[in-house]
Structure 1
């Protein structure tokens, strides 16, 4: 879920760069062979691949919340007990936490889907995720929210992006965990599926994938996104677009491409035509197998994943959306991530993918 900055002050920090020999080979990250329950947070697929959520705890004594773990933003916010427009099941009560401290300033963030939230800024002890404890974490118990759907059980969002994206202008949760030595490695991994999904902190869960992880260094202009370059998009094994960058976003359901790029891709699918709001449809009988490549393997999205279902007689909706991106970078969401094991390495400044076990 890509957030857009609404702060009056923007922070621009350099993206850490660590030596990676090539963009398509596995970097020497030690992966635990015996995962521990304290590193693994179960995720729930709330609506057939549209949103995965997990549990966090904030405060003393701990207050529990259901959040989306979002690599497309960097801030933690949850609904407050005074929130107007929130449809949360659980809300944060600062007066009930002995470690809660209000800070100066106001938090605000807007997301590309049109949602926005506003609230005060606090610090508190965050006991999350899966028992990984961080102290003095900045977050916002929001008091105002708009366009937040009550379709899913969601109390807030925990951003997993880089500090450059933070509207709080503070370290995101996972970066705090690294600096406080709460995790062994600055790596986290996602396994998104219909059942037994998880977010793994401090490494990767090697029981969920086979072979090595194919890592790709972050682009030099990533500006806080988990953004990798030199991407190609294939339709039925043939290149339909190449030479673009991709933002890997666990908070987005679909894939988004600039208007011209999306038209180019769908131009290779027989019978495809644009519908409203940037979507395309195609004859259900010609649903393609598509794939991304970053110079290594072709990472496939099978036809039944790319096909979002019938919208007109014999016509089905495609999972690649046309959007005015303001950049040549594509957004790659869960429709792709459900078909790979994904790893996000702060230590190496890289994103990696592996074949599911």
Structure 2
């Protein structure tokens, strides 16, 4: 019965967008539960952070109330959304003005950056969900929005929403904004088993120091799935157009960017000093070393999807490439077809799985995985692809055999923490580079750097500092590749400096998953479960 239920969850995922994918393995659930106990004991860290003005931040906060890693993984594999945190207590005044609320989640703040159009990426210490801080409306109400390269639609929870999920989040007090405009157009987005509904609206949005008019979904109904996560909405960064304005197009029109790109560096909690950042319009040479190697997009529908050459373990290729890989900031881990995930783990001594979906691996494994794009290798270290020990003393692999993007890889933050990522809308390509030395930490990282932990709300802020370069460059593997896409359902350079290169390899033929086939698969799964 249980495998059938899992299959239904996965079928739901296939029918929807490669966006906001909230997969919560057991080890992460156990961490969240432990943190919940600490909160009950009033162990709140270092206090609230001071407001920092207008910057874009990506923050991580833990979720709560789940069981083992495997059960958490199954649950999240059934949701096509992304990761969030538990309830937050609130204080509201009676005149509708924006007020602060006590936040029960630890936040590791990023150090401040002096770069233009740049903001720090904060996190809660679990390397799970990254979201940005925006300011909405004439009163510039701060809200957290999930940074999601897999979504074309953006939305926030509205103050008129009375669902349990909204009660546990900051909601947009639109009545207090002098620039708010309502419409009669319906808004609806489904993420796996999660869904939001409401009306389209528009207001001023401030992101990374840029303010512009933006249309978005104002949610009046939010499913209980969102009770498990800390953000108040989703900011869609896909190139495709969802129910509302395309964010990248609107920001480019509002601020004449040097290039229509954004670049992401994700910091891992164990590294101590948080230097994660997101930058719009240009790259930050201080954050990477060597060349940025680009791979052209394979999707014509606007998804951030490229072809992967291969994945290797300890120098041994698994021969799992030649297919599309969705690069998704809204997904914590890595998901792929069961047969390909099995081929990778077959190379890993001691890897075991009861179902081909979740694998346990030796906790003392010290070998990196290697991901190859456009002939260039990028390492993912054990601290990222292997989970911490669970209550049973077992470690699980963060590569899961869930075919969420049918026949494709869904590559999230487990990989992205190890590279400098460039999402280039103008040239329709994604680039990766090795991180600069102060941003790149090996598996031996002790995390001994200073960590500022706060209990801030969306008005808490911080940004990153410049980093130095490391000497080693990516090594070529020589194998070219191709790419794929996903969908959402809404109703020259100086020598010695980093350089950018582009792959000219031809992209193979690809086909999208037809919605009719997906629906048929889902219906078949339902028959299996309920027959």
How would you bin the TM-score normalised by the shorter chain? 0.7 to 0.9
Match of 1:141 among 205, 211, 218: 218
Judging by fraction of residues, say which structure has more helix.
Answer: 2
Residues 90-114 of structure 1 show CA distances to partners (whole Å, capped at 9, x for unaligned) of 21122222221122322222224x3
Deviation, structure 1 residue 312: 6.9
Verify the 8 A CA contact 1:2 1:72 in the aligned structure 2: no
Matched, 1:348 2:348: no
Matched, 1:105 2:185: yes
| Cα gap change, 1:277 to 1:262, in 2 (>3 Å) | closer
Verify the 8 A CA contact 2:14 2:406 in the aligned structure 1: no
Greater shift, 179-188 or 47-56, is seen at 179-188
Task: Give the gaps of 5 or more residues in structure 2.
Answer: 1-12, 18-112, 437-531
- Distance across 2 between alignment mates of 1:157 and 1:247: 18
Deviation, structure 1 residue 55: 1.0
Runs (4+) of structure 1 moved beyond 4 Å?
Answer: 149-152
Match of 1:227 among 305, 308, 312: 305
Verify the 8 A CA contact 1:251 1:333 in the aligned structure 2: yes
Judging by fraction of residues, say which structure has more strand.
Answer: 1
Output aligned runs, 1:1-357, within 5 Å: 4=16, 37-83=115-161, 84=163, 85-86=165-166, 88-112=168-192, 114-128=193-207, 130-135=208-213, 137-150=214-227, 152-164=229-241, 166=242, 168=243, 170-193=244-267, 194=269, 195-219=274-298, 221-240=299-318, 241-275=320-354, 278-286=357-365, 288-311=367-390, 315-325=394-404, 327-357=406-436
With normalisation by structure 2, the TM-score equals: 0.57
Query: How many residue pairs are counted as aligned between the two chains?
Result: 321
Verify the 8 A CA contact 1:43 1:198 in the aligned structure 2: yes
Greater shift, 253-262 or 38-47, is seen at 38-47
| Cα gap change, 1:152 to 1:46, in 2 (>3 Å) | farther
Aligned residues: CA RMSD: 2.3
- Distance across 1 between alignment mates of 2:188 and 2:355: 30
With normalisation by structure 1, the TM-score equals: 0.83
The residue that corresponds to 1:10 in the other structure is none
SS of 2:142's equivalent in the other structure is strand
- Distance across 2 between alignment mates of 1:188 and 1:309: 31
Deviation, structure 1 residue 230: 4.0
Greater shift, 77-86 or 221-230, is seen at 221-230
- Distance across 2 between alignment mates of 1:314 and 1:286: 14
Deviation, structure 1 residue 151: 5.3
SS of 2:183's equivalent in the other structure is strand
SS of 2:347's equivalent in the other structure is coil
Deviation, structure 1 residue 299: 0.5
SS of 2:122's equivalent in the other structure is strand
Deviation, structure 1 residue 276: 6.4
- Distance across 1 between alignment mates of 2:150 and 2:174: 27
Verify the 8 A CA contact 1:86 1:148 in the aligned structure 2: no
SS of 1:308's equivalent in the other structure is coil
Verify the 8 A CA contact 1:134 1:173 in the aligned structure 2: no
| Cα gap change, 1:197 to 1:347, in 2 (>3 Å) | same
Deviation, structure 1 residue 229: 1.1
- Distance across 1 between alignment mates of 2:14 and 2:293: 24
Verify the 8 A CA contact 1:189 1:200 in the aligned structure 2: yes
- Distance across 2 between alignment mates of 1:59 and 1:277: 48
Task: Give the gaps of 5 or more residues in structure 1.
Answer: 6-34
| Cα gap change, 1:192 to 1:230, in 2 (>3 Å) | closer
Verify the 8 A CA contact 2:361 2:386 in the aligned structure 1: no
Residues 210-233 of structure 1 show CA distances to partners (whole Å, capped at 9, x for unaligned) of 1221111101x3522100014311
Larger radius of gyration: 2
- Distance across 1 between alignment mates of 2:185 and 2:408: 32
